[in-house]
Amino acid sequence: MTVSSVTPGVVLKTKFATSNLKAFQNYVDYVDRENSKKEYGAHEKLFTLYQDYLANPDKTSSLFTDQSDGLNEEEKKKLKQVFETAQANNSIMWQDVITFHNPWLEEQGLYDSRRHTVDEKKVMDITRQAVNDMLKREKLNGSAVWSAAIHYNTNNIHIHIATVEPHPTRERGMRKQSSLDAMKAKVVNQMTNRRENQKKINELIRKDMVDHKKKDSSLAWRNRELKPLFLLVYNYLPKDKRQWQYSYNTLKPLKPYIDTLSEKYIQKYHPKEYQQLMKTLDAEVNELKKVYGEGKVNQYRYKNYKQNKIDELYKRMGNAFLQEMKTYDKKQQRAQHLIEHVKSRKRSKGFHQHVSMHASLKRIERAFKSEYESWKNQQYYERLQRESQRNGQQHYEDERSY
Report the CATH number at residue 158: 3.30.930
Distance (Å, whole) CA 314 – CA 309: 9
**Residue 369 confidence (pLDDT) above 80:** no
Question: How far is C-alpha 180 from the geometric centre of its chain's CA atoms?
Answer: 18
Distance (Å, whole) CA 94 – CA 89: 15
Q: Tell me: the pLDDT tens digits for 65-79?
A: 898 888 888 888 888
Same domain for 203 and 259, yes or no, is yes
Look at 80-89, 291-300, 329-338, 386-395 and tell me which has the smallest mean pLDDT.
386-395
Residue 96 has a pLDDT of 92
Distance (Å, whole) CA 48 – CA 44: 9
Same domain for 11 and 65, yes or no, is yes
Q: Which of 192, 213, 245 is the last residue of a domain?
A: 192
Q: Tell me: the pLDDT tens digits for 166-176?
A: 999 988 889 99
Same domain for 114 and 186, yes or no, is yes
Q: How confident is the model at residue 257 (pLDDT cuts 50, 70, 90)?
A: very high
Provide mean pLDDT across the span 119-123. 91
Provide mean pLDDT across the span 351-371. 53
Look at 1-15, 23-37, 65-79, 158-172 and tell me which has the smallest mean pLDDT.
23-37
Same domain for 112 and 208, yes or no, is no
Strand 145-151 relative to strand 158-164: parallel, antiparallel, unpaired?
antiparallel
Q: Which of 342, 366, 382 is the last residue of a domain?
A: 342
Domain extent for 172:
3-192
Same domain for 79 and 155, yes or no, is yes
Same domain for 7 and 128, yes or no, is yes
Look at 203-207, 282-286, 384-388 and tell me which has the smallest mean pLDDT.
384-388
Q: Tell me: the pLDDT tens digits for 193-230?
A: 667 778 899 999 999 999 999 999 999 999 999 999 99
Q: How many domains does the chain have?
A: 3
Distance (Å, whole) CA 340 – CA 346: 10
Q: How confident is the model at residue 366 (pLDDT cuts 50, 70, 90)?
A: low
* Cβ(41)–Cβ(35) below 8 Å: no
Same domain for 297 and 402, yes or no, is no
64-65 sheet: strands from edge to edge: 10-17, 93-100, 158-164, 145-151, 64-65
In a 3-state reduction of DSSP, which class is residue 105?
helix
Residue type at 310 in one-letter notation: I
Strand 145-151 relative to strand 64-65: parallel, antiparallel, unpaired?
antiparallel
**Residue 368 confidence (pLDDT) above 50:** no
**Residue 62 confidence (pLDDT) above 70:** yes
The larger pLDDT score, comparing residue 137 to residue 59, is at 137
Q: What is the DSSP string of 124-157?
A: HHHHHHHHHHHHHHTT-TTT-EEEEEEE-SSSS-
Nearest to 212 by CA among 155, 165, 273, 151: 273
Q: How confident is the model at residue 267 (pLDDT cuts 50, 70, 90)?
A: very high
**Residue 352 confidence (pLDDT) above 70:** no
Residue 55 has a pLDDT of 29
Same domain for 167 and 18, yes or no, is yes
Distance (Å, whole) CA 165 – CA 141: 10
Same domain for 361 and 390, yes or no, is yes
Q: Which of 146, 166, 192 is the last residue of a domain?
A: 192
The larger pLDDT score, comparing residue 302 to residue 58, is at 302
Distance (Å, whole) CA 213 – CA 94: 50
Residue 399 has a pLDDT of 56
**Residue 44 confidence (pLDDT) above 90:** no
* Cβ(112)–Cβ(123) below 8 Å: no
% of the chain residues with pLDDT over 70:
71
Residue type at 39 in one-letter notation: E
